[in-house]
Structure 1
Amino acid sequence: MKKHSARVAPLSACNSPVLTLTKVEGEDRPRENVVGTTDPQAAAGAAGADSGSSKRKLHCCIRVTTVQVRKALWGVVMVICVCSSWAGSTQLAKLTFKQFDAPFTLTWFATSWNCLFFPLYYIGHMCKSPERQTPRQRFRECCRFFGDDGLTPKVFFTKMAPFGLLWILTNYLYLQALRKINTTDVSALFCCNKAFVFLLSWIVLRDRFMGVRIVAAILAIAGIVMMTYADGFHSHSVIGITLVVASASMSALYKVLFKMVLGSAKFGEAALFLSIVGSANFVFISFVPVILYFTHVEYTSSLADIPWAFLCGVAGLQFAFNVLVNFGIAMTYPKLISLGIVLSVPVNAMVDLYTCEINFNTVRLIAVFIICLGFLMLLLPEDWDQCIIQLSTKLRKRDEPAEGSVEAGATTGLNWRGRARTSMSTFAH
């Protein structure tokens, strides 16, 4: 989801106001007292004021650097947590299907856990916010995200229902793909959703054209083709790859439509949105697992045979992953959160290699590398080329004064020698 001012406000509040106050109090006032004075004591006072202002500047710089370091450390923690939750849910879902082959039931069960988003957000609101609101007041305030009238039946069926359907399709197709191919291929191919997001945003939302992202999208498509070729175009492999690519496409469509229809959301609004998706899934979709059970499509002999520990583990890890992805931006940089997703690919690869469920041939390794490279290229900022140009310009400017000083020194030395020779000759005559 799109970043909004509430997420970046803490960082800006720590940076510019602190620096501005330091300059006003530490630099400007002492200079007013120094102007027009020639007294040595006044000069000494001015020097003390300048040293005090420099100390304040240093303290401010240390404070800003501490904030950045703290955010970077939180980023490392977030990367580990995002990678662990996503890779753990994928591996645990693969194990679940060996005992309970019911991908839609698992999707319905895990999506129902989204109901916990808004209650957990409200607990955090009560702990941190100085203005404590009742649950009803907070609910009504967050409902303004859907319009002036709030969450009406029309808004629910026109704006909420399509996103709930896309959410279920994304997770269901992902779990279906796990039944056909290994977790490494699934996690690598799902990383293509970022390339699909860029293509849809460029076509539908008219976002800025970037050549590097077009190259990344081409790499993602090339990786999909090579991944299909790695297993020799077997039926189960082609079906599994098609399912996970469809899942990535549904995920990209979900994100682009959210930006186009609803725009950006604050933390409370996002928590309410996800809770409504989970509640609607529990209320309106519960009949589908029942039908699948009685038609023996997803059947188990008794409730005792259902691996409830695995089901709760998958649902809990997916819930933790969604919490980290949607709300982790409050503590660290969003690029680091995205980095945790791509790092789940080598983690799944190590697990698959340990369990002997994958054959790492050259084509598969190249395909995984190309897809991950395309994902990392999509993390580049929009002005990455300008940043490189500015950096090269600064490096050139640093080298030029050194060369100029050398040349000036050489010229000065020559002039000094010339003058010395002239004076010596004049003295001799």
Structure 2
Amino acid sequence: MKKHSARVAPLSACNSPVLTLTRVEGNSCIRSNCENGKVGTRLPCGTSAVRSTSNSWILGGDELEDHSPASPAPTEAHLQAAVEANGPCHQCFVKYSVTQIKKCSWGIAIILCVCSSWSGSTQLAKSTLSRFDAPFTLTWFSTNWNFFFFPIYYVGYVLKSNEKQSPKQKYQECCRFFGDNGLTLKAFLTKAAPFGVLWILTNYLYLHAIKKISTTDVSALFCCNKAFVFLLSWIILRDKFMGVRIVAAIFAIAGIVMMTYADGFHSHSVIGIALVVGSASMSALYKVLFKLILGGASFGEAALFLSVLGIFNVLFITCIPIILYFTKVEYWGSFEKIPWCSLCGFSFLQLTFNILVNFGIAITYPTLISCGIVLSVPVNAVVDHYTSEIVFNSVRVIAIVIIGLGFFLLLLPEDWDVWIIKLLTRLKVRKKEESSEANGTVVQFRCYRTRPSFTH
């Protein structure tokens, strides 16, 4: 039996983390307080407190009575006393708050790294293909770098984990992902090979589209893969129907049509847009089939799976670039004319992006990683504005905005409407409390002014 509680699907062929860690239930202390009708409050000094329905403050299991009519927050002296008391509930809340702050801090850093690596690899691919017109060879070369996934994971495991396992032991443990017999030839051909083909198609179509249209259009259109994932998951995996995601899918389709219209339906741009849409479709199919066939994987299993894809690429795909070279479909002359620096730079940035997408969710939220991906669109737009002759007419800008809006709508959780209702209800209750407190203060002031004086 496998004992993995945190599972993640390898999503590097796509560029948005949809299949991520299983949802972690909230802390038992927080759940018990919510069940008892107590509302968690974050205090200015960083200490967490719980306010009960009776407007008394509870920190560390000790109740601080508040006799003022407005029930203000506890003073610093009270907070310090509660911290010194060091009750279990208080420790629970402090630990929870610190964890959230760390996750958000790491999230900001990963947003910048994801945005930089994805936009940088796209721009570098555009530059490389202008001197090295071989998109399939470039795809094959960069995919070979997937072999480094498992070694990089093992180095991180050795540095972080207290229990040390040898590389062979860790490999054997992760091989259980492919079945009870491990990574056999049958498992390799049935469970790894199909995803290797989808990986190659996704990246090849993406790189081939970069030759036809601008990097801004390519990166914006590829964001539609999240809408395709929802549609395929709804049809194949029988996922929950959500009206807002249907609206997001409509936005994505409308953005594709408007992007095509922006260049006047010229054959050159239409082919490029069709290639990007095909790449996004292969990306979505990769995700959904992985969920359907393999379910989920731990971080070690995902790293091994991606390394196996690199091995599949070397063993079975290497013949295709050779055939393309001798048939002069992708002919680059001598090996000395190959821009090795650009090739290695693109492969390194793509590997960095894939590592951040797959393993970044261990330290931050998947939604933040997705935000880093969609932010690459304006970055590419700025670069294209100064390096190419792209025309940002109103139709293109509206199409990009619509696709981005649909992307963000797909990031909403399943119970987003419940959260909004709760938030509106809480704001309405708080507004009534503030108005009643203000009326009470006015009444007290008037009573004081009309009180008869007994002084002579």
TM range (shorter): 0.7 to 0.9
Whole-Å separation in 1 of the counterparts to 2:127 and 2:337: 14
Note if 1:358 corresponds to 2:383: no
Instruction: Find 1:249's aligned residue among 281, 288, 309.
Output: 281
Residue number in structure 2 paired with 1:336: 368
Q: CA deviation at 1:223?
A: 0.3
Residue number in structure 2 paired with 1:101: 133
Note if 1:172 corresponds to 2:189: no
Whole-Å separation in 2 of the counterparts to 1:183 and 1:14: 49
Q: CA deviation at 1:405?
A: 4.9
Note if 1:135 corresponds to 2:135: no
Residue number in structure 2 paired with 1:290: 322
Note if 1:281 corresponds to 2:310: no
TM-score (norm 2): 0.80
Maintained 8 Å contact 1:110/1:314:
yes
Residue number in structure 2 paired with 1:4: 21
Maintained 8 Å contact 1:112/1:282:
yes
**SS class of match (2:128):** helix
Maintained 8 Å contact 1:85/1:317:
yes
Greater C-alpha radius of gyration: 1
Note if 1:84 corresponds to 2:101: no
Structure 1 pair 143–190 and aligned structure 2 pair: CA distance change class (3 A): same
Q: CA deviation at 1:156?
A: 1.4
Instruction: Find 2:107's aligned residue among 64, 75, 81.
Output: 75
Moved more, 231-240 or 352-361: 352-361
Q: CA deviation at 1:400?
A: 2.4
Note if 1:190 corresponds to 2:222: yes
Whole-Å separation in 2 of the counterparts to 1:347 and 1:181: 16
- Output one character per residue of 1:322-368: Cα deviation in whole Å (capped at 9) or x when no partner: 00000000111110100011011011111110013311111111111
Maintained 8 Å contact 1:4/1:265:
no
Maintained 8 Å contact 1:27/1:50:
no
Residue number in structure 2 paired with 1:36: none
Whole-Å separation in 2 of the counterparts to 1:358 and 1:25: 59
1:365-376 equivalences under 5 Å are 365-376=397-408
Structure 1 pair 407–73 and aligned structure 2 pair: CA distance change class (3 A): closer
- Output one character per residue of 1:122-163: Cα deviation in whole Å (capped at 9) or x when no partner: 111111211111111111110111222222222111111110
TM-score (norm 1): 0.85
Structure 1 pair 365–406 and aligned structure 2 pair: CA distance change class (3 A): closer
**SS class of match (2:181):** coil
Residue number in structure 1 paired with 2:193: 161
Query: Unmatched 5+ residue regions in structure 2?
Result: 1-8, 10-18, 33-47, 49-57, 64-76
Q: CA deviation at 1:65?
A: 2.9
Residue number in structure 2 paired with 1:227: 259
Whole-Å separation in 2 of the counterparts to 1:79 and 1:272: 25
Whole-Å separation in 2 of the counterparts to 1:417 and 1:85: 68
Maintained 8 Å contact 1:182/1:357:
no
Taking only aligned residues, the RMSD between alpha carbons, in angstroms, comes to 3.2
Instruction: Find 2:415's aligned residue among 367, 373, 383.
Output: 383
Q: CA deviation at 1:379?
A: 0.8
Whole-Å separation in 1 of the counterparts to 2:444 and 2:237: 62
- The number of residue pairs the alignment matches comes to 399
Q: CA deviation at 1:179?
A: 0.8
Structure 1 pair 53–223 and aligned structure 2 pair: CA distance change class (3 A): same
Structure 1 pair 92–51 and aligned structure 2 pair: CA distance change class (3 A): closer
- Output one character per residue of 1:370-395: Cα deviation in whole Å (capped at 9) or x when no partner: 11111011111111111110011111
Note if 1:122 corresponds to 2:139: no
Residue number in structure 2 paired with 1:315: 347
**SS class of match (2:375):** helix
Counterpart of 2:414, as a letter, is E
Q: Which has the higher helix share?
A: 1
Q: CA deviation at 1:15?
A: 8.1
Residue number in structure 2 paired with 1:271: 303
Q: CA deviation at 1:401?
A: 2.9
Residue number in structure 1 paired with 2:98: 66
Whole-Å separation in 2 of the counterparts to 1:246 and 1:50: 58
Residue number in structure 2 paired with 1:259: 291
